[in-house]
């Protein structure tokens, strides 16, 4: 029985490692997907509205003037830095801190997913998409607004929720696509 317990603990640990690697890669892929989504959206908008280069510069200027809320990852990084280290982040530090929070959340949620997959293999049904959906629902839609790291969900248009949900489909699917071969390689 002791041998079985050690094997199970090793499997969960291997699952955790494989899931963390999957979450890391998936966070990167999700970033690339979001860049493409935004670029396509901007091209569609400019062709529909006949936006000029001056319009684009005006929009960028408005963003820089702080009229738009910072991403939740940056707000989180600021809160941690100020509360834990008593340090206000500079604009340059925010450029790195926001992505660091994004990757930390991706790696840790991937690790939990990988460990859970070892305990309940059915958890991987749907190729990681239900996992990505759960991350979107519990993190983006519930925890982030509840912690005051973003506006309440009702203040965002449906298109923003769709963008986030589809991004998390990509995250979950990629996590599973990477987790499986990494897990096999760890045996």
If the chain, 187 residues long, is cut into consecutive pieces of 10 residues, what is the mean pLDDT of each piece? 48 96 98 95 82 49 56 94 95 96 98 96 95 97 94 95 97 98 96
Half-sphere exposure (Cβ direction) of 67: Cα atoms closer than 13 Å: 8
* 119-154: pLDDT as tens digits: 999 999 999 999 999 999 999 999 999 999 999 999
Q: Is the dihedral of CA 18, 21, 27, 33 positive or negative?
A: negative
Rounded distance between C-alpha atoms, residue 31 and residue 109, angstroms? 16
Rg (CA), the chain: 19
Report pTM: 0.83
Residues spanned by the domain of 116? 2-185
Count how many domains the chain has.
1
CA pair distance 122, 136, nearest whole angstrom:
20
């Amino acid at each position: 029985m002791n041998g079985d317990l050690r094997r199970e603990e090793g499997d969960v640990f291997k699952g955790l490692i494989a899931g963390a690697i999957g979450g890391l890669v998936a966070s990167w892929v999700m970033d690339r997907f979001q860049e493409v989504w935004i670029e396509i959206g901007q091209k569609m908008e400019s062709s529909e509205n006949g936006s000029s280069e001056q319009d684009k510069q005006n929009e960028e200027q408005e963003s820089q003037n702080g009229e738009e809320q910072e991403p939740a990852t940056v707000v989180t990084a600021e809160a941690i830095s100020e509360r834990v280290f008593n340090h206000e982040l500079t604009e340059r530090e925010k450029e790195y801190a926001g992505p660091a929070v994004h990757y930390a959340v991706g790696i840790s949620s991937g690790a939990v997913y990988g460990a859970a997959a070892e305990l309940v293999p059915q958890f991987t049904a749907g190729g990681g998409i239900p996992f990505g959906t759960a991350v979107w629902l519990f993190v983006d839609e519930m925890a982030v607004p509840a912690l005051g790291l973003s506006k309440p969900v009702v203040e965002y248009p449906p298109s923003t929720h769709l963008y986030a949900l589809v991004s998390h489909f990509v995250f979950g699917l990629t996590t599973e696509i990477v987790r499986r071969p990494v897990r096999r390689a760890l045996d």
